[in-house]
Amino acid sequence: MRYIRTNDLKRLFSLKRCSFDSGISRPMALGGENSIPDSPTPTEIPKENNHSDQRTSPAVAEDSQRRPTWRCFSHEEVYAATDGFSPERLVGKGGHAEVYKGVLLNGEEIAVKRLTRGSNDDRKVKDFLTEIGTIGHVNHPNVLPLLGCCVDNGLYLIFQFSSRGSIASILHNENLPTIDWKTRYKIVIGTARGLHYLHKGCQRRIIHRDIKSSNVLLTSDLEPQISDFGLAKWLPSQWTHHSIAPIEGTFGHLAPEYFTHGIVDEKTDVFAFGVFLLEIISGRKPVDGSHQSLHSWAKPILKQGDMERLVDPRLVGAYHVAQLGRLALAASLCIRASATWRPTMNEVLEVIEGEETDLERWSMPEDEEEQEEFWGFEDLECECDGSFSSSISQEDSMSTESSRS
């Protein structure tokens, strides 16, 4: 497996610029020894083995067949749109990227992600190709769409700009009004649908690997959009999981099998979604000031069935009791230590959308429940503290500066 170098990359995108504008869905595939890794086409991905998930709505099916229309931007366009990457335009920053707000000549607002990951140029190109190859064909209302890229004088990804910012920047900003329960429920449903699409409705099985509130943006009509695919992996149909090293992600969201063995599959995202659910319900951060993780705090409350203690006190009791029960149940299933006993995103949607749920189906044997207690999430996270590699900070999101102030 080889990757093209920076000059080859620029030459390739220059040759393919016209193809991008006309909507070719796989512009990076080349023959010869310097081609990038083969990508599966929709016909190469049969139904996954060992998965009972059959949920694919007509909208998802239509989206999965639609060809992307992202294009190649010139550096002049990107430079002008961001006022020369002015510090005043910087809206997000992490270990691997900087995000700038930009405005195109037609008035369209964009978010420009300038990749800075890795000191080695070949590694940076590889990471860029991996990310763009993962999200270049994604098309769903609850996933942030890729508008294009730029490979002149650096590597850049261009997305639609979210004026409202990330869920984290809104939920945890004391200077902003509290998000009401109806909006929270809408955020949960939309995020679940977007994640289900990545796992099942997309041309590839995509594992996001960093689902968290700072990576979910809110549109002007309050629709959530999953963003930041810097850690995402796609799974060929014949693979049951990835084995990954080093471990990358965000504390408080890592599934036990991932931070202990480096095993990644759809259930890795399900665990992180469970933490996201608890954050939306409670208004608490994934890790508090005493370094206690949210799921460790919530787990005994969920076990006792005292759901009211989970609810954000800022709501002052203004929430839907039945919806709270469904979200709490879904969260309790998602954060189980054993991936085997976690639901798929299809099953999560069945629970939170109110479809009939057989509780006996999710009852675990006593030995499994004892194993849950044995894991001790908090202890495991502390043990991993020394070797953990964080990819993106909590503030690295495509949002406005005002939404985080």
Annotation: binding site for ATP: 113
**Enzyme catalytic residues:** 210
Residues 6+ apart with CB under 8 A from 332: 274, 299, 302, 303
Longest Cα pair distance anywhere in the chain, in angstroms? Answer: 63
Q: Which residues are annotated as a binding site?
A: 113
Q: Are 189 and 353 in contact (CB under 8 A)?
A: yes
Tokens 């608890």 correspond to 278
Is residue 322 exposed (0-12), middle (13-18) or buried (19+ Cβ within 10 Å)? exposed
> Half-sphere exposure of 49 toward its Cβ, with a 13 Å CA cutoff?
6
Q: Which of 143, 175, 172, 176 is nearest to 66 (CA)?
A: 143
CA dihedral 225, 231, 236, 239 (to 10 degrees): -120
Q: Is 380 helix (H, G, I), strand (E, B) or coil?
A: helix
